[in-house]
Amino acid sequence: MLLAIVGTERVVVGRCSEGLFAFSDSCTHKGGSLSDGALVGCTVQCPWHGSQFDIRNGRVVAGPAEKQIKIYSIETRDGEIYVKPLQIPAMGTRRVA
């Protein structure tokens, strides 16, 4: 696994049998650094309390975490890896009567 800063966020790039994936470095349970954990197959385990997450989609595989981790778009071009920061959807305007 490789830890990178994308925008203002700590992002981990990990490789499993299905390719490269990028995900948030912060465990959703208590904020442990996932880059300090173990990646087995496509599952990363938090070193603090053992929560496990699927790096392909962010879902919780085993608790105590209950909320999935953020995942990021990743692209490889000319041997370089590009990770796109999360896009926050723009709030639409609403007319209030």
- 53: domain CATH number is 2.102.10.10
Q: Is 91 inside any structural domain? A: no
Task: Print pLDDT tens along the chain (97 aa).
Answer: 999 998 888 999 999 999 999 999 999 999 899 999 999 999 999 999 999 999 999 999 998 999 999 999 999 899 898 998 765 554 444 444 4
Decide: 59 and 70 in contact? Cβ < 8 Å. no
Two tokens, residue 87: 């896009």
- Which pLDDT score, from 0 to 100, does residue 88 have? 52
Token match 């990770």: residue? 83
Number of domains the chain contains? 1
Q: Is 40 inside any structural domain? A: yes
Domain that holds residue 76: 2-84
CA atoms within 13 A on the CB side of 80: 4
